[in-house]
Structure 1
Amino acid sequence: MGYRGPTACAAAGITYRQLDYWARTGLVEPTVRSAHGPGTQRLYGFRDILVLKIVKRLLDTGVSLQNIRIAVAHLRGRGIGDLAGMTLMSDGASVYECTSYDEVIDLVQGGQGVFGIAVGAVWREVEGSLAQLQGEHTGTGEPTPQVHPGDELARRRRDRAV
């Protein structure tokens, strides 16, 4: 299952300009299908959208793009099952991974942690958003039956088909 750019943007809470920039600079590239020249559509997987939403949250809290790139590289190296139990903590400069309650407490007591992102909670948010948005089966290129009312491209296709 893959999700086009507008759907990924809606689920992650980012603009298409951010999505395009992050893909072109290699921050978060689509793993289902990348763009190959003009007119081709990128397709993002669930994990990609999860990382997009985490990147957005880190940016909103003032973490530098350089440190976000380090955090994203770390997230890519983790298994999908590892992500659900992870909490990302930051002091606004660095990003730390915590996988247990004790690690979170140690970080906060050390005066380093200012905010945290429970990846499992973000995971559930993305799942909820994507359940209402249009995805695309990668084998057929056909959209799933669900249609998001705000998806301009899907609306135009429906209008043309009628």
Structure 2
Amino acid sequence: MAVAGGERDPHDRRFALRLAGQQGLLCEEDVVALPMDVGYRGPAACTAAGISYRQLDYWARTGLVEPSVRTGAHNAPLYSLPDILLLKVAKRLLDTGISLQQIRTAVDHLRGRPAPDLARITLMSDGVSVYECTSPDEVVDLMQRGQGMFGLALANVWHELEEALGVVPAEERTDLPAAAPQPMDELARRRRERRTG
């Protein structure tokens, strides 16, 4: 639906909401497919987010998006699924011309939210500012300003990540409480002894 300046007919708003309902709402999706208790190495995060390893390293060093599952000099860093979502969001915003300062503000705003909350957010931007929308009404209100806007539904980004990471090996998180020890068969015990020396 094209948006122009001037007075708005209230029927336009109802039409836009009805159309959004037919196409699937931008702000109301559930995500549960991938396990949240695993982490992904840098190359997998780069591939899923569509960024270079150099960008990943720079963004980690500058604090834009750091690996939250595992960090340290002795182990490869691991990125959580929400970390990779933030990387992909930053990349998409960067590709549309948003300044790194605005991207940093948007990422800081989203950081730490649970996955179901992230999936209900649509980021809207006029090329200068980034806005969070959590309902179709908010999207329509922003578009009624008459300025060109683009939107990024985080649920759609999440589903893209599910596809990309569904075939990539993940590693267990090391920051979770230890589970009760499982009985080990003879072959598993020998493998573990061989790995640990």
Q: TM-score, normalised by structure 2?
A: 0.67
Q: Give me the identity figure in percent.
A: 64
Q: From the superposition, tell whether residues 93 and 105 of structure 1 become closer, same or farther in structure 2 (CA, over 3 Å).
A: same
Q: For residues 144 and 87 of structure 2, what CA distance do their matches in structure 1 show?
A: 29
Aligned partner letter, 2:138 = E
Judged with a 3 Å threshold, the aligned counterparts in structure 2 of structure 1 residues 3 and 112 are, in CA distance, closer, same or farther, namely same
The CA deviation at 1:80 is 2.1
**Partner of residue 91, structure 1:** 126
How big is the shift at 1:76? 1.0
* Structure exhibiting the larger radius of gyration computed from Cα positions: 2
1:127 maps to 2:165: no
CA distance in 2, matches of 1:85, 1:60: 22
Q: Are positions 1:100 and 2:135 aligned together?
A: yes
Question: Aligned ranges for residues 54-93 of structure 1 at < 5 Å?
Answer: 54-93=89-128
The aligned amino acid for 1:56 is K
Match of 2:51 in 1: 14
Q: Following TM superposition, by how much is the alpha carbon of 1:77 offset from its aligned partner in structure 2, in angstroms? A: 4.5
CA offset digits 1:70-120 (Å, max 9, x no partner)? 101110153321111110001111100000001001101113452100000
Structure 1 unmatched runs, 5+: 140-162
Matched pairs, number: 137
Q: Tell me the equivalent position of 2:146.
A: 111
The TM-score with structure 1 as length reference comes to 0.80
1:32 and 2:63 aligned: no
Higher RCO by CA contacts (8 Å cutoff, separation 6 or greater) = 2
Cα RMSD between the aligned structures? 1.3
Structure 2: runs of 5 or more not aligned = 1-37, 175-197
